[in-house]
Structure 1
Amino acid sequence: MSWVRVYLHLVFSTKNREPFLNSSAIRKTIFQHIKKNAEEKGIWLDCINGYQDHAHCLISLGKEQTISKVAQLIKGESSFWINQNKLTSEKFVWQDDYWAVGVSESHLEAVRKYIHNQETHHSVNTFSEEIDSFMEKYGWTFTSEK
């Protein structure tokens, strides 16, 4: 029997960073649905939260799961569900890209706390500032795909 526990912090935004998730009620509804759907698909979604234009997930990958497949399953199904249930006045779309980084077991509680405190965090920092901070922390630079 295989035993795998690989955690990652996955972040993705709405297309063009549109503030579709502009109320705590809509965020709660959508994030609860994403958590339930992930469970049904065998995705271990430890926690999820976000703010007006993005979502943060703490995920433990299964032995046959890839980051891209998990992101596709979460984002694709939730976009479909949001539009089917007319939760936004305009067509809802997640941006194609995402950000993901591995999380060591010793940092799980800190990442959970960070994800759970998104509203407080974003009362001070914008999503752009948050991404810039991540880019600096992890030494990443923007690249263009050709």
Structure 2
Amino acid sequence: MANTYTQIHIQAVFAVQNRISLIHPTWKNELYKYISSIVSKYDHKVLQINGMPDHVHLLMGFRPTQALSDLMKELKEDSSKWINTRGFVKRKFAWQAGYGAFSYSKNQVPRLIRYIQNQEEHHKRQCFLDEYEELLKIHEIEYDQRYIFKAID
């Protein structure tokens, strides 16, 4: 669209269903490439992607040509199918419902890239649930404790 200028940086955080550690180091980079290809298909730009066996952090430059909810729905559906088709896990793979999305200014991006790159080190000190609740609090997002990424009974 002519005369439309934006600078939108979004970190999306999403978890494996029941927060089971299913993302294996032998194929996680392939998964990150696949997720990146979905993001790029819609002309958004992946700035950093990394995670742990039970969750993913995705930082992207986001274009206002698509609803974030639509992108996340497609990303999660397509990547689940991709994982299941390749037989990477013995059970059916699925992402947990919902996600967190947090916006950042340009001057925060380098620090955030380092943070996402260093997920393994970070999680030696802090568990995922504490990390996620901290993100919600830092961004002053009201939330219901019942719907935080917990195991589904």
Cα RMSD of the aligned pairs, angstroms, is 1.7
Deviation at 1:20, TM superposition (A): 0.7
| Structure-2 residue corresponding to 1:108 | 109
Contact 1:3-1:63 at 8 Å conserved across structures: no
**Cα distance per residue 1:3-30 (max 9 Å; x no partner):** 3221111100011101111x32222121
| Structure-1 residue corresponding to 2:125 | 124
Gapped runs of 5+ residues in structure 1? none
**Cα distance per residue 1:68-106 (max 9 Å; x no partner):** 112112111111111111111111100111001111011
**1:20 counterpart = 2:22:** yes
Gapped runs of 5+ residues in structure 2? 148-153
| Structure-2 residue corresponding to 1:6 | 8
Paired-residue identity, %: 25
Rounded to whole Å, the distance in 2 between the matches of 1:39 and 1:12 is: 18
Deviation at 1:57, TM superposition (A): 0.6
- With 134-143 and 123-132 compared, the bigger mean Cα shift is at 134-143
| Residue 40 to residue 67, structure 1, CA distance change in 2 (3 Å) | closer
TM-score by length of 2: 0.85
- With 1-10 and 45-54 compared, the bigger mean Cα shift is at 1-10
After TM superposition, list the pairs within 5 Å mapping 1:1-146 onto structure 2: 1=2, 2-21=4-23, 23-143=24-144
Instruction: Look up the equivalent residue of 1:76 and give its one-letter code.
Output: E
Rounded to whole Å, the distance in 2 between the matches of 1:39 and 1:142 is: 30
- With 89-98 and 128-137 compared, the bigger mean Cα shift is at 128-137
Rounded to whole Å, the distance in 1 between the matches of 2:74 and 2:113 is: 22
Aligned length: 144
Contact 1:30-1:78 at 8 Å conserved across structures: yes
| Secondary structure of the structure 2 residue equivalent to 1:72 | helix
